[in-house]
Amino acid sequence: MVDQLAEEYADDPVVFIEYDVDNPAGNRVSRWWAAWGSGGSVYLPLIMVDSGNQISNGSVAFAQRYRAMVDAALQRPAAARLEVNRERVGNSFRFDIALTNLSGVTLSSANSATLHVIVYEEAHVGDTDRWVRAATAQSISNLAPGGTGAFTAEIAPQGVVDWDKVHSVVIADYRPGGATGAYDMLQAVHQ
């Protein structure tokens, strides 16, 4: 069903990726838990849109629920601009990233502003055809509204079967509530 939605949204700026929830690459699963808060029961799958701006879990009317989440996300304006240059070097990637803050707040450790690099392969490993092979993150510090910061990341994905089917997503997010509450995506770039 998720692969069907991926086909439906193929012409839109939407990427559906899957993590191993028991051994997730990077720290993105923390975004889901921050949005959840505490209490109650949680069931797989854990679904997240826009770094936790919207979440879902367990058995739901999957196509209807996920479509509604994606459609709502598509209506939201970007709060940052990302320019990404990705270069493959052997079995790793180097990313040179320029992030311009278009939000009205300074991005810093006070609001857990973070730049994520996720590398996935078009491979049916779990339930979908897009499996995360590696992820890394770095903090964004003191990036004022209108300011641009330069970042570099290197990442070596593990278990890749077909390098021609490897893609990446670079995400900038932050926590609007400061030290508590859900994270929200500022912008993302898919390559």
- Domain ranges in the chain? 2-190
**Helix residue ranges per DSSP H, 57-176:** 62-74
Q: Are 174 and 111 in contact (CB under 8 A)?
A: yes
Output the pTM of the full model. Answer: 0.94
CA 134 to CA 120: how far, in whole Å? Answer: 7
pLDDT value at position 21? 86
Contact 186, 175 (CB under 8 A): no
Distance CA 86, CA 94 (A): 6
Determine the Cα–Cα distance for residues 56 and 129; give it in Å rounded to an integer: 20
pLDDT tens-digit profile, the chain (191 residues):
788 999 999 999 999 999 998 888 988 999 999 999 988 899 999 999 999 999 999 998 989 999 999 999 999 999 999 999 999 999 999 999 999 999 999 999 999 999 999 999 999 999 999 999 999 999 999 999 999 999 999 999 999 999 999 999 999 999 999 989 999 999 999 98
- CA quadruple 106, 17, 20, 40: dihedral sign: positive
Mind listing the pLDDT tens digit for each residue in 103-155? 999 999 999 999 999 999 999 999 999 999 999 999 999 999 999 999 999 99
CB 146 within 8 A of CB 99: no
From CA 67, how far away is CA 54, in angstroms rounded?
A: 12
CATH code: domain 2-190 is: 2.60.40.10
Alpha carbon distances (Å) from 152 to 2, 87, 134:
32, 11, 16
| pLDDT at residue 191, as a whole number | 87
Cα–Cα distance between 157 and 119 in angstroms, integer? 7
Residue 137 exposure: Cα atoms within 13 Å on the Cβ side = 19
Amino acid at 173: D
Cβ neighbours of residue 186 closer than 8 Å, sequence gap 6 or more: 78, 79, 80, 101, 102, 103, 107, 172, 173, 174
pLDDT more than 90, % of the chain? 90
Half-sphere exposure of 33 (CA within 13 A, CB side): 5
